[in-house]
Each structure stands twice: as C-alpha cells, then as structure tokens.
C-alpha cells in the first residue's frame, strides 16, 4: 500500500502531455487509466518488454510435446496396429494433433499469464471508490502518481496537476 | 484501402459524423443492452419466434435421426456422404472466416475492422459449434462419438491417430476454444464499460463479473495488446490448418475429384469467401436492427465487396486448376468426372454454382454496386448459396461417379435433409439474436481508439 495522487483529465492528449511533464519534474508515475490504449504510455511507465510471448511459446510447445508423446507411445508401444504395412510411427499423420492443441495451449497459457500479470480478476479495487472513476472506461482519462511524503510537496504536486489540466485530484492508498 | 495513419480526407473516414465522439460510440453500442426502451423490438421478437421455431425443427430432426438412424437422409450405398457432410464443410467455412478476418485484418493494421470484428468473431463461434454437430450426427452410432478422444478406458484402446476424423475432432475443438479466448479477451474492456454504464444492479453485477475488474490501466492495455496481437499471429495458421484438415478429409482419399493437392488452400479460400458474405449479411442486419449506421458505414460494405471480388477470382482459378489437372493428368476417371460435373445429373446445380461463385461477384467492379448495401447483401446471399452448392457438389459428384461404373448412383435428398439444414440456419439465427442482446456487437474500445487515431490527423 502506498499513497497515490489520482488526477482526472478530459482529454487523452492533455494526460499524455502531463505525464511527460510529471516524469521530467521527477514525480514517479504509477499508472494511467484510459478508455482505449494510449500510445507511448507503456514506455513512460517503463512497461517496454513482457515475457508473455515467451510463456506462450513454452506453454504451446509443452502441450504439443505431450500430444505428440501420447500419439507416439500409444501407437508404437501401448496399442500398435499394423494397418496395411504403414509404419507404426507415422509422423506426418501425427503432426496435426500436436499443432492444433499446441496453438490452443499457447493461447491458454497466454490467457492465464495475462490474468496473473494484470492481477485480474480483481472485482474490487480502491480506485473504484473514486466518484467518477466509472468514466475512465468511457470517456475520461486518469493519471496516478506516487504521492510525495511531505505534506508541502504533496500540495505542490496537486496544484501542479491542476495546472496541467486535471479537473479533480484525489488522494488515496492502494 | 487506407490505414488510419494516412487518412486525411473526410470521405475516407470509417465513421459517420454522428458517431465521432467517445460518448457517442459508447451510447450507440450500449443502447441495445442497457437502454432497451429506446425503440420497440418488434422485428427482433418476430425473428426470435421464427428462428426458435426452426430450432425446434432441428431438434425434432435430430431426435428422429437418433431414433431411426441415417437412413432418414438421402444417403445411399454409393453416396454415403450427403447433406450432413456438405453442411459441415459449409458451416465450418463460415466458422473459419471470423477469426481469419479478425486476425488477418489486425495484423495488416486495417483499422476499419473495429466495427465488424466482434460480430465476425461471434459468427465464428456459433458457426463452428454448429459445424461440429454435423459429423457427430452423421456417425452411424453417434452415442459413441467420445471414442474420438483419448481417454483411459476398460478396452485399453486408443484413437486411430492416422484418421482424418481424429484430425477434424482436434482441429475443431482446439479452434473453438481458441476462438472463444480470442473473442472473450477482446470483450473484457467493453464489459467494463457496460458495468460502469449499467443502470440495474443485476446487469452491473453480471457485466462486472465477466469484466474481471478491468480498470483501463495502461499496464493492462499493454499486456492485452501483446496478447491480442500474438493470438492473431497464432490464429492465422490455426484457421488455415483447420480448413486444410477439412480439405484433407477429401484429399487424403483415393477418389477422382478429391485426391488433389489443391484441396487445402482451395477450401481455405472458399471458407473466407462464404465467411465474408455471412459477415456482410450480419453487418447489414446489425446495422439496421441495432441502429449502428454511424459505426458500420457504406465504406465497410465497399471494402468487403472488394475482398469478395478478389476471392471470387481465386475461386474461379481454383475450379480452372481442377479441370486442368483432370485433363493434364490424363486419368480417365478424372476426366469423366469433370464431364459429369458439366453434363451429368447435377449439371444444373453445377452451372448455378459457377454462376454464383465466379460470375456474379464481378458486378463489384462497379463502385455504384459496391456502395449499394442492398445490392451487396443480395449478391452476398447468392454467393453463399453458391458456396453451399459447391460443398454439396464436392461430395455428390465424386461419390456418384467414381471408378467402378457399376457403383454409379444418384443422390436425391429427403425432407429430413432440408429440415436439418434449415433448422441449423434457424439455430444459428437464434444464437445470434440472443448474442445481440447480451454482448456489445461492435468493439467499443477499438472504435474509440480508431477515433483517436483519426482525430490526430
């Protein structure tokens, strides 16, 4: 839990500009909330790389390997059927099942990874207590900064956010 | 076709002026879900009653089928595959198109997809689910369909992994689950919007649960973007493999007219063709029924008509390749089959199919036709009928006229064949009508993003 200042903006461009200024002024950005993804925002927040794709690759390959292993073991060792002299290990015919389920495995790993990374599902969050936060999924934009410790600095930050175009600034902890 | 980045002229924008603010988009899309009294739902109710009646017809046919067996269909000892397999291939084709369209357009940065991707993906889910029913109905002993899955059993046997039926089973089930994830994850931010707009506590709670607590955080948007684009990259090969497998059901055989290497890509293009026509029909219905004129514009129909035109040329090329290979290969049975297609028992259907699939789309060379929604819809319906005929004739021609002359038989459908076909159409319509009332049919967050990119120009 840390103290945050959350500022409400009417316009995406104003918020992006304010975030640039805030970063330059040395206020640590915590997060931004918007009804659609804002270009350049992940970079400002330091969210440049993600391991999600790597996890998806690992998940997909694991599922595909399991599928191929099942085929190989069942067709060659556990229940061999000689069907017209075809090789027991008919690898070309065995490729499709691992391919299809492997892609689904990657998708599912990614889905779970996304939920874990975003901390979802989380049906309640202190932000939802802000009166007006419901506009963030519709047409408002909010910027969250880590609030400075000293009361004086905090007041300066609030005044500064308002000058940058914020309608309202709230203080809350999460 | 322009991307949002180079849009400068009013004529090239993908929304009408009345839908060009964030609030306008939210309002237009969420009105059918949370502001239901804005208009009377008479057309919707009439459609629901009709589609529900057809759904009952489908269920009765299925019950009758389970009781009597597949002898109720027109299938005979030679034409062992009839309507159910043709319907399966046709439905799975439509089911293919949603994700194919959605992910390809995403990767190609076609921002206009924002208005149609959701409804195309929903179409995919319902059509693929319906398609999956047909092979099971066509099994002699449908109650044993679960033998397709590898599960520990007292007989200690395993599925035959070399069988195309097993490939189908895995391809369809993987695809269906994949499409569900792709569709749902794109829906989460919109469900959050609805949660925050809902007036009744029940609606707010339901939308809230499915929105997973989405709060529009920039970090979440970033992760979602990475996941969504990666899913699109995975989705394209998956759909191509899915309909290729359906093509392999035929091509892996040794029958004249089926055992052709062109089948997998030819099936994929056919899927995109019939799928796009279905997207056009659904877009027109949604646009009119849910008052989406500001978001689904004439420009959308125009670009989709252009895609149909291109697909039509590829279909014609595929047919020509089939005829050429039959002639150039020199196999008597293959050549006889092509002659049978043009002059045999099903010739009227074949000529109709060629007209619908290869000729009629050439009207789209004229901009006035492409920009006339009624014309695009009518041509779309005819193309879809043509594609259904193609699926049917692939089955009937080869089976009726294969190597052994003594085995030649003609297929004639029974009333049950038609009842099942129209029943499945009614069931699809019913599912779609329900979808329109519980989930936003246009992606709000992607449209909002489109507006912001356009506004920057």
> Would you kindly state where each structural domain of chain B is located, as residue ranges?
13-144+161-456
The Cα–Cα gap between B272 and B307 comes to 9
CA angle in degrees (0–180, nearest 5) for A98-A100-A104: 105
Q: Sort out which chain A residues have CB atoms less than 8 A from B215's CB and list them.
A: 33, 125, 127-128, 133, 136-137
Name the stretches of chain B with pLDDT < 50: 1-8
Identify the pLDDT of residue B291. 85
Chain Cα centroid distance, residue B63: 26
Q: What does the pLDDT read at residue B387?
A: 94
Helix (H) or strand (E) holding B242: helix B218-251
Domain region containing A89: 53-118
From chain B, the residues in CB contact with A127 under 8 A are 215
Tell me what ipTM this predicted complex has: 0.92
CB of B199 within 8 Å of a chain A CB? The answer is no
Chain B residues whose beta carbon lies within 8 Å of the beta carbon of residue A83: 160, 162
> Looking at CA atoms only, how far is residue A109 from chain B in angstroms?
10
DSSP class of residue B16?
-
The answer on A45 and A63 residing in a single domain is: no
Given A74, A99, A118, which residue is the final one in a domain? A118
User: With an 8 Å Cβ cutoff, is A133 touching chain B?
Assistant: yes
CB nearest to B181's CB, from A99, A107, A121? A107
**What residue of A is the nearest CA neighbor of B157?**
A79
The pLDDT value recorded for residue A56 is 94
Q: Is the same domain home to A71 and A114?
A: yes
Q: State residue B402's pLDDT score.
A: 87
Own/partner pairs, B318-321, CB within 8 angstroms, 24+ separation? B318/B262, B318/B265, B318/B266, B318/B269, B318/B270, B319/B354, B319/B357, B319/B358, B321/B262, B321/B266
Concatenated DSSP letters for B248-309?
Answer: HHHHTS--TTTS-TTHHHHHHHHHHHHHHHHHHHHHHHHHHHTT-TTTS-HHHHHHHHHHHH
Chain A residues 32-51 with CB within 8 Å of chain B = 32-38, 41-42, 45, 47, 50
- pLDDT tens sequence across B44-80: 999 999 999 999 999 999 999 999 988 999 888 889 8
pLDDT at B2: 45
Q: How far apart are the first and last CA of chain A?
A: 5
pLDDT of amino acid B457 = 60
Q: What are B165's two structure tokens?
A: 């039926």
CA A78/CA A60 separation, integer angstroms? 25
- What per-residue confidence (pLDDT) applies to B252? 86
Residue written as tokens 């038989």?
A: B409
A44 and A57 belong to one structural domain:
no
The mean per-residue pLDDT over the stretch A125-142 comes to 87
* Min Cα separation A111/chain B (Å): 8
Out of A85, A102, A118, a domain closes at A118
User: Within this chain, do residues A106 and A71 fall inside the same structural domain, yes or no?
Assistant: yes
Tell me, yes or no, whether A111 and A129 share the same domain: no
pLDDT at A73: 92
Is A2 an interface residue toward B (CB < 8 Å)?
no
Using a CB–CB cutoff of 8 Å, tell me whether B298 touches chain A: no
Q: A7: part of which helix (H) or strand (E)?
A: strand A3-9
B90 against A24, higher pLDDT: B90
Q: CB B193 to CB A32 under 8 A?
A: no
Question: What is the total residue count of chain A?
Answer: 174
Q: A30 near A71, Cβ under 8 Å? A: no
Distance in Å from the first CA to the final CA of chain B: 17
Which CATH fold would you assign to the domain B13-144+161-456? Formate dehydrogenase/DMSO reductase fold (1.20.1630)
Residues in B closer than 8 angstroms to A101, CB to CB, are 170, 174
Tally the domains of chain A: 2
Residues B119, B125: Cα–Cα separation, whole Å: 10
Interface test with A, best of B29, B173, B212, B223 (most A CBs within 10 A): B223
The whole-number pLDDT of residue B5 equals 47
For residue A113, give both structure tokens. Answer: 């990874």
pLDDT tens column, B111-134? 788 888 889 999 999 999 999 899
A and B: number of Cβ contacts within 8 A: 178
Residue A111 and residue A64 share a domain: yes
Q: Does residue A82 contact residue B160 with C-beta atoms inside 8 Å?
A: no
- Do A40 and A96 lie in one domain? The reply is no
B109, exposed or middle or buried, with CB in 10 Å at 0-12, 13-18, 19+?
A: exposed
Query: What pLDDT is attached to residue B349?
Result: 94
Please identify, among A87, A118, A149, the residue that sits at the C-terminal boundary of a domain: A118
Closest CA–CA distance from residue B151 to any residue of chain A (Å): 11
B409 in A contact zone (CB under 8 Å): no
Average pLDDT value for residue range A79-106: 90
Interface test with B, best of A118, A136, A174 (most B CBs within 10 A): A118
């Amino acid at each position: 839990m840390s103290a945050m200042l959350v500022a409400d903006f009417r316009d995406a461009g104003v918020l992006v500009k304010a975030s640039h200024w805030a970063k330059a002024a040395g206020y640590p950005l915590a997060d931004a909330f918007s009804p659609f993804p804002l270009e350049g925002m992940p970079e400002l927040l330091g969210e440049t790389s993600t391991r999600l794709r790597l996890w998806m690759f690992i998940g997909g390959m694991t599922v595909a390997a399991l599928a191929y292993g099942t085929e190989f073991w069942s067709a060659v060792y556990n229940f061999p059927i000689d069907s017209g002299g075809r090789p027991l290990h008919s690898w070309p015919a065995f490729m499709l099942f691992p391919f299809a389920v492997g892609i689904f495995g990657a998708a599912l790993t990614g889905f779970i990874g996304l939920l874990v990374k975003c901390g979802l599902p989380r049906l309640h969050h202190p932000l939802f207590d802000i009166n007006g936060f419901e506009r963030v999924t519709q047409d408002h934009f909010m910027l969250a900064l880590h609030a400075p410790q000293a009361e004086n600095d905090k007041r300066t930050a609030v005044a500064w956010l308002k000058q940058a175009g914020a309608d309202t600034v709230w203080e809350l902890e999460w | 076709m322009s991307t949002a980045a180079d849009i400068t002229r009013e004529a090239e924008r993908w929304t009408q002026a009345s839908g060009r603010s964030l609030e306008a988009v939210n309002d237009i899309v969420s009105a059918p879900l949370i502001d239901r009294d804005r208009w009377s739902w008479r057309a919707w109710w009439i459609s629901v009653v009709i589609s529900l009646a057809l759904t009952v017809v489908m269920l009765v046919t299925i019950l009758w089928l389970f009781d009597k067996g597949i002898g109720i269909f027109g299938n005979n000892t030679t034409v062992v595959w009839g309507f159910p397999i043709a319907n399966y291939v046709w439905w799975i084709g439509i089911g293919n198109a949603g994700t194919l369209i959605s992910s390809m357009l995403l990767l190609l940065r076609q921002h206009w997809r924002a208005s149609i991707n959701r409804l195309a993906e929903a179409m995919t889910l319902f059509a693929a689910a319906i398609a999956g029913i047909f092979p099971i109905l066509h099994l002699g002993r449908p109650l044993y369909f679960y033998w397709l899955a590898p599960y520990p059993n007292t007989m200690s046997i395993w599925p035959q992994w070399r069988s195309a039926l097993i490939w189908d089973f895995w391809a369809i089930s993987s695809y269906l689950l994949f499409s569900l994830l792709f569709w749902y994850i794109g829906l989460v931010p919109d469900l959050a919007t609805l949660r925050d707009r809902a007036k009744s506590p029940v609606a707010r709670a339901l939308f809230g649960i499915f929105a997973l607590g989405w709060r529009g955080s920039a970090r979440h948007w970033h992760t979602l973007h990475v996941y969504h684009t990666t899913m699109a990259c995975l989705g394209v090969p998956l759909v191509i493999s899915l309909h290729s497998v359906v093509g392999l059901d035929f091509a892996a055989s040794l029958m004249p007219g089926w055992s052709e290497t062109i089948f997998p890509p030819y099936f994929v293009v056919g899927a995109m063709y019939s799928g796009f026509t279905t997207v056009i029909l659904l877009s027109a219905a949604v646009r009119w029924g849910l008052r989406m004129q500001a978001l689904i514009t004439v420009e959308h129909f125009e670009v989709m008509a252009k895609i149909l035109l291109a697909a039509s040329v590829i279909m014609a090329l595929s047919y020509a390749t089939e005829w050429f290979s039959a002639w150039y290969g020199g196999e008597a049975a293959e050549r006889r089959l092509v002659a049978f297609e043009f002059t045999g028992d099903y010739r009227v259907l074949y000529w109709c199919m060629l007209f619908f699939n290869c000729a009629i789309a050439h009207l789209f060379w004229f901009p006035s036709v492409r920009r006339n929604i009624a014309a695009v819809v009518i041509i779309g319906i005819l193309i879809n009928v043509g594609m259904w005929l193609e699926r049917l004739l692939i089955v009937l021609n080869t089976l009726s006229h294969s190597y052994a002359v003594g085995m030649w038989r003609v297929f004639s459908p029974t009333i049950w064949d038609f009842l099942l076909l129209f029943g499945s159409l009614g069931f699809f319509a019913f599912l779609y009508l329900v979808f329109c009332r519980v989930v936003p049919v246009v992606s709000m967050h992607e449209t909002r993003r489109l507006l912001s990119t356009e506004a920057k120009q």
